[in-house]
Amino acid sequence: MQKNKAVLIGAGLSNMAAAVYLIQEGHWNGKQITFYSLDDHGSNDGAPTDTVTDEYWNKNHPMENRKGYVARGGRMLNYRTYVDLMDLLDRIPSTTEKNMTAAEDTRDFDAKHRTFDKARLLEGGKGIINGSHLGLINQDRLHLTKLIAMPDSEEEKLDNVTIAQYFSDDPHFFGTNFWFMWETTFAFRLQSSAQELRRYMHQMIYEFTQIEHLVGVNRTRYNQYESIMLPLINYLRDQGCKIVLNRLVTDWEFKDTTMQDEITVTGLTMKNTTTGKDEHVTIDDDTAVIFTNGSITDSATMGDFNTPAPENPDYGAAASLWKKATERFYDLGNPDKFFADRDASEWVSFTLTTKNHLLLNEITRITTQVPGNALNSFISTSPITALGKKDVNMSIVVHHQPHFTTQKPNESVIWGYFLYPRRRGEFVDKPYIEMTGKEMVQELIGQLSKVDPGPGNIRDKSEQIMASVINSIPVYMPYASALFNNRAKTDRPKVIPKHATNLAFTGEFAEQPYQMVFTEQSAVRSGEIAAYHFAGIPMANLVKTPRYDKDLKTLAKAAKKMFD
C-alpha cells in the first residue's frame, strides 16, 4: 500500500538502504523519513574504543582501557553476487575519496589490492595446507550435488534439518578441507540450517571453484563503518532524514479491526536510553513502518585487555519487539528459532591493536603473503568434535593497513574470532569465552607457533609482541550466527507480510526468495523491496539478481572442482 512518510525502526544497513531508495526511486523528500534506533551502524561497526557509545561498556571500563580500535565483526564483499549493495553504494558519495561514489571507492581499492590467499588453512606440524585439494569423496560429492540440484520449489524439504543431520550418514564431510574453508568463510556450524547451506551453495556456486584462494572476495578501503555506513549516514542527513539515536522501541500499538489478520501499526512506544524516559510516536494512515526485526550483534558485550567480555542474558532488543508482534499475529515467523538457542549462534571475536608491525610482519612471514590478502584459519591437530574430527580453533583476518582513517602509520589492527567459544584454548587453558584480551593474543601466538617451522619461531618473539599490544578487545556476541540457526521456511516473516497495510520487515531475519543471509546483499535487498512497495514502484524494477546456479559453465566448473 503506497505511503508518503516512513518511520524506520533500526538504523542499520537494510533500513538505510530503504531510505535511499525511497528518496531516489520513490522521489520522496528526506524530511518524510525518520529513524529510531539505539545506534547508527547496526552490525556494520568499527571505531576507536574511546568513541564507543555502548553504555554498559563505558560504565565498566576506565578511560585508560579505552585505547585502540574495535569492530565486533567483519564483512567480505563479492561484486558478482552483491549486486544490490553495489547499486546502493553507487548512489552515494564516498566519505574518504573525493569525486568517487562509495562503490567506485571500493572498486578502486580492491583493484589495487586483490585477494589471493596462499595460506587459507594452517595446521600445526604441517604449516600451510594445500586447500586446492578439497578432500571430498564420492559420498560427499553426492550430498553436495543433491543440494545444488535441488530446485527452489523443493527447498521446504530441508525445513528444520541441520547440516549435521543432512550429512548424518557421511561424517567424513566434516573433516574435509572444503568444510574447513566453507565454515570459516561463511560461519556455518554443525547445528546450522541445511536450508541455508543450500541457498549459499546455489548463490555462491562459482565461489566453490576458487574457495582455496578467496579470489572472489572484495573488501572496502577502510572498516565497514567508515566505508559503508558513514557515506549512507552523511547522505541521508544531507537529504533531511531524521536519525534519532538512543531510542529502544519496546512495544506496538495496532489498529483494532474486525479483520483479525489485518496488520496496521498505529503507534510505537520507545525508551530514551539517555534519559530513561518512555516516549510515544503516533503512526498515521500515510506512514509506513519499516522494521529491522533482528540483529546479530544485539546483546553483544565487550571486555578489554585484562577483562573477558561478560555474558549478557538479554533476548535481543530487536527480536523482543518482533516477538511481541508474533504474539498478536500468527504469520510473522518464530523469533525463538533464532534467539533462544545460543549454543547454536554464539561467537567470541577480538580486535587487536599494536603500536608497531612486529606481529603483522611475523604473520606475513609465516603465511608468505602481504596483509589484506587473506582470511587464515587455524586447525586443531587432534579430534575435538563429537564426530571425532579435527576442526578449526580460531580464524583471523589481517586487514590491509590502515583499517581506520585515524590509525597511525606505525599501528596495526587485526581481527579474529572463535566460532565455537565454549571450546578450550590449547595455550590458555580455559574456554575462549572466558579469555581476556591478553589471553586471546597469547592463544593466537601459540596457534601461530604450531605452524611456524625452523629457527626463529614466533614464540621467541612473544614477549616483544605482547609489549607491542595497545589493546585487545574481546567481544561476546550471543547471536552472531543466529541467522543460520536451524529453521523452517516460515520461521522468518516475509519482507511484506500478506495482511500488513503499513508494516515491512528488513534485514537478515526477513524471508526473501533465493537470497542468502549474513550478507550485505540480502540486507540491502530487503530494504529495496520495502521501499519499492511503499513508494508504489513495480517489483520488476528491482536490481536483477544473477543466477549462477543456472549457468552451465559455472556448474561444469563446480563439478570438476569436486574431484580436486
Q: In what order do the strands lie in the sheet with 301-302?
A: 127-128, 121-123, 375-379, 392-398, 412-418, 347-354, 469-477, 301-302
d(CA 28, CA 6): 10
Alpha-carbon distance 170 to 212, whole Å? Answer: 22
Question: In whole angstroms, what separates CA 39 from the centre of its chain?
Answer: 17
Q: Alpha helix locations (H) across 301-386?
A: 317-328, 336-339, 342-345, 358-367
Q: Are the beta carbons of 91 and 24 closer than 8 angstroms?
A: yes
CB 231 within 8 A of CB 542: no
Active site residues: 200
Cα(72)–Cα(477) distance, integer angstroms: 8
* Torsional sign, CA 466, 121, 476, 411: positive
Cβ atoms of residues 85 and 77 within 8 Å: yes
* Element housing 469 (H / E): strand 469-477
User: Residue 246's closest CA among 223, 224, 267, 272?
Assistant: 272
